[in-house]
Each structure stands twice: as C-alpha cells, then as structure tokens.
Amino acid sequence: MGAPKEELLLIKLRPQDLSLSEVEIVSTGYQQLPKERATESFVQVENELISRRITTNLIDRLEDITPGLRFNRTGTDPINIRGRDTLFANNRPLVIIDNFPYDGPLENINPNDVESITVLRDAAAASIWGARAGNGVIVINTKRGGFNTPVTVSITSNISTTDRQDAFYRPLMGTQDYISIERDLFNRGFYAGTENSIVRAPLSPVIETLIDARDGRITQQQADNIIEGFSMMDVRNDQCCPK
C-alpha cells in the first residue's frame, strides 16, 4: 500500500492592533501601586492641575484643589490634614519627596519641579511610615528624565499686575492744615518744654524753621518761604523735599 498523500497547509495570521487600557499609578512614597490596588484614602494631584495657578509658592497652588488638606494662614502650621487632632503637639503632616522624608518648609520647593502630589489621609499611612505619619502624609514626586527620551526644555514665565494703590483713600489731614496747627501750637508755647529739654526730641522741619526765625538766624520772610515750600509737599505724591 502506498503512503497517504501529504498536503501542505498555508496558515496566515492577520495582525490586529490592540491598545492596553491606561493604568493610573499612585505613589505612597514607599512604593507605586495601580490606583485600584491602593486601599488608602488618598488624593492625587497631577502636574497639569498644579500648574493652573500662577504663584511661586507650592502651598498656594495646592489650595482649593486638594480635598482634605486644610490651610492655616495665621498659625505656625500652614497646612494640616483632616483638621487639628492635637492641642500641643506638632500637627504638621509628614512630607515625602522622591521617597525620602523632608523636614524643611514647603515654601522652599519650586512648584515647577513637581510632577505629582499624593495626599494620604487615613491611618493606613502610619503602617507605611510609622508614627510620624499620624498627621497624614504628603508625597511629592519631582520631574525626572526617562529612558531613551529626547531632551526637552520648557520655560515658565509668570507676570502679575495689580492696580495702583490709592494713597488718598484715607481721610487724612492735608499738609497745609497740619502746618497751620503747628504754627498755632508754636505761638502758644506748646513746644517750649521740648525745646528747652536736656534730652531734646526731634521736632518737625516746620517747628525748626519757626525757631530759627524767632532766634534771628533767618528772617521772617525766609521762614515763610521755607514753610510755603513745605506746604506744597505730600509724600503720597512722591514729591521731594525743597532744597
């Protein structure tokens, strides 16, 4: 009997493009986990959200965008997590920068160097960082280079403008009225005690001019001219003193 006839099979595979679903990574400062595997109560703030506010202070950029993070502008602790939980001890949360504890002020951190911030808010943070994490943990990851990536250069420039302040908004006494009162007080002898004191307190230029005119060091006409120059002055107008 002859052998069965062999048949050659031609098998072709068709390529099919599949994209993997994006995995969001959460950094606890000790390890990086997918978001669905992280069991802690946390808030993650990405660089895009941090860069929205124009300020050189990292604390100002975190305000109003980080739930659970409270800001105190009057106390010694500028920020706290979940509110104050102690009366006398330090209420400052533990700050981790690139997996290392950081004890300095947050104001010294350049916001443009920050890639992402994760705030660990519950007691599970203590299982990672110990007793120092009792007030919560702020994990900061800074920007870094990647493998086989081209060099990129970014420039950030911030310009802020404010309205010119009105120095005349307070109802203060004008210069001419003030000089008129000083003349009246001088004629009544109000400055005699100060003038004759051994330890003499400094007097205003108007009173010094009136004393010079009274003692004959200058004429009355000269004194009036000098005082008239003083009456034209107003520091709110940034005017210089007459020479």
Percent of the chain's residues with pLDDT above 70: 79
Q: Cα separation of 214 and 231, whole Å?
A: 20
Judge if 182 and 128 occupy the same domain.
no
- Does 31 score more than 90 pLDDT? no
pLDDT at 1: 56
Of 119, 142, 165, the domain-final residue = 142
Q: Which two tokens stand for residue 32?
A: 């990086």
Judge if 207 and 103 occupy the same domain.
no
What does pTM read for this prediction? 0.51
Q: State mean pLDDT over 34-43.
A: 62
Judge if 30 and 130 occupy the same domain.
yes
Its sign, for the CA torsion 130, 132, 135, 136, is negative
Q: Which residue has the higher pLDDT, 113 or 17?
A: 113
pLDDT at 240: 44
Judge if 55 and 111 occupy the same domain.
yes
Judge if 99 and 197 occupy the same domain.
no
Q: What would the pLDDT profile of 171-207 be if each residue is shown by its tens digit?
A: 888 888 999 999 999 999 888 888 777 777 788 899 9
- Does 133 score more than 80 pLDDT? no
Q: Which residue has the higher pLDDT, 171 or 96?
A: 96
- Partnered with residue 43 across adjacent β-strands are 119
Judge if 138 and 39 occupy the same domain.
yes
**Domain containing 80 — which CATH number?**
2.170.130.10
Q: Which residue has the higher pLDDT, 88 or 128?
A: 128
pLDDT at 138: 86
Q: Are 92 and 37 in contact (CB under 8 A)?
A: no
Contact residues for 205 (Cβ-Cβ < 8 A; gap 6+): 230, 241
Confidence grade of residue 32 (pLDDT, cut at 50, 70, 90): low
Q: Give domain status of residue 168, yes or no.
A: no
Q: Cα separation of 13 and 10, whole Å?
A: 10
Whole-number average pLDDT of the chain: 78
- Does 163 score more than 60 pLDDT? yes
Q: Which two tokens stand for residue 89?
A: 């001890």
Its sign, for the CA torsion 175, 177, 181, 186, is positive
- Does 213 score more than 80 pLDDT? yes
Q: Give domain status of residue 150, yes or no.
A: no
Q: Cα separation of 170 and 194, whole Å?
A: 30
Q: Are 141 and 98 in contact (CB under 8 A)?
A: yes
Q: What total number of domains does the chain contain?
A: 2
Q: Supply the range of the domain harboring residue 219.
A: 175-233
Of 127, 142, 157, the domain-final residue = 142
Q: Give domain status of residue 43, yes or no.
A: yes
Q: State mean pLDDT over 47-52.
A: 80
Judge if 37 and 134 occupy the same domain.
yes
